[in-house]
Amino acid sequence: MVVSEPDPEEFVEKQSSSDFTQIITHMYRAEVQRAYNWRRRLDRTTEWSIVILSAITTWAFSDPQRGHELILGVLIFMGTLLWIESRRYRYYNVWLGRIKALEENFIARTLYPKDKVSSRAWMKTLANDLRHPQFKIPLWIAVAHRLRRVYFWLFSVTTMLWLGKLAIHPYSIPDFATMIERAGILSIPGYVVFPLIIFFLGMSGIIAYYGHTHEKKGVSLVEEDVVRDDWDKMT
């Protein structure tokens, strides 16, 4: 005897329309609240980066005798915050995916009933995601997204401030060779430190660019009436 798989649309038809709508409405509000909370966490780490950059830059430039290493330390601090923020973005993306699924397949269909969207696909996929929640994007894509949105520009500003510190303190440089010499840190010569910083900034830009080309467009669960494979898999 072959047992057929339950049909989501048949299940919905057996329920009271008001009860089903109420369930979906409460779920939508809960997912929006979750996304809002994680969005605030993302903003908090960004604010820390900006505050620390402003404070250290002001302190470093206030005295010509203070070393440029202080500004490079901000890069390390912001790199740590980038890692934390990227992990948080993966969680935010989970809630955002569910919100988009409900908006595209339930709310939009309610507003325009003639728009044919099969609930067999999106309801089953959403149910599986609720039972077995998984990240929708790999960590490096999350890092690339936060780089493109915030941190590449912060890294660029920090690098320019570092170059400005090298150029004017303790006195204005007569030539580029003097700047390279000043870039030294402890026993590491400037001709090593300077290319490393430029390489770091260049790699950040490359990761941000290629992450954008690999990032999926949108986070909807159903595309052309077919469930997206990457929703069901840990990427």
Whole-number pLDDT of residue 15: 53
Whole-number pLDDT of residue 230: 41
Residue 86 has pLDDT above 90, yes or no: yes
Cβ atoms of residues 42 and 85 within 8 Å: yes
Q: What is the SS3 assignment for 23?
A: helix
Q: Which residue has better confidence, 19 or 129?
A: 129
Tens-digit pLDDT profile for residues 173-222 = 888 888 888 888 888 898 999 999 999 999 999 999 888 777 654 444 44
How large is the average pLDDT for residues 148-175? 91
Whole-number pLDDT of residue 110: 74
How large is the average pLDDT for residues 100-120? 73
HSE, side-chain direction, 13 A CA sphere, residue 192: 6
Confidence of residue 100 (pLDDT cuts 50, 70, 90): confident
Q: Look-up: residue for tokens 């997206």?
A: 228
Whole-number pLDDT of residue 5: 58
Q: What is the SS3 assignment for 226?
A: strand
Average pLDDT for the chain: 81
Say how far apart CA 231 and CA 127 lie, in whole Å: 12
Give the containing element (helix H, strand E) for 222. strand 222-223
Say how far apart CA 126 and CA 97 lie, in whole Å: 9
Whole-number pLDDT of residue 88: 92
The residue among 77, 210, 75 whose CA lies nearest residue 148 is 210
Cβ atoms of residues 60 and 71 within 8 Å: yes
Say how far apart CA 59 and CA 29 lie, in whole Å: 45
Q: What is the SS3 assignment for 101?
A: helix
Say how far apart CA 217 and CA 82 lie, in whole Å: 22
Whole-number pLDDT of residue 124: 79
Say how far apart CA 14 and CA 217 lie, in whole Å: 35
How large is the average pLDDT for residues 83-109? 88
Cβ atoms of residues 167 and 179 within 8 Å: yes
Whole-number pLDDT of residue 108: 77
Tokens of 234: 């840990």
Q: Look-up: residue for tokens 């809630």?
A: 95
Full DSSP string of 54-88: HHHHHHHHT-TTS-THHHHHHHHHHHHHHHHHHHH
> What angle do helix axes 139-146 and 69-102 make, rounded to 10 degrees?
110
Whole-number pLDDT of residue 227: 39
Q: Which residue has better confidence, 84 or 224?
A: 84
List the single range of 45-54, 121-130, 142-151 with lowest mean pLDDT: 121-130
Residue 20 has pLDDT above 80, yes or no: no
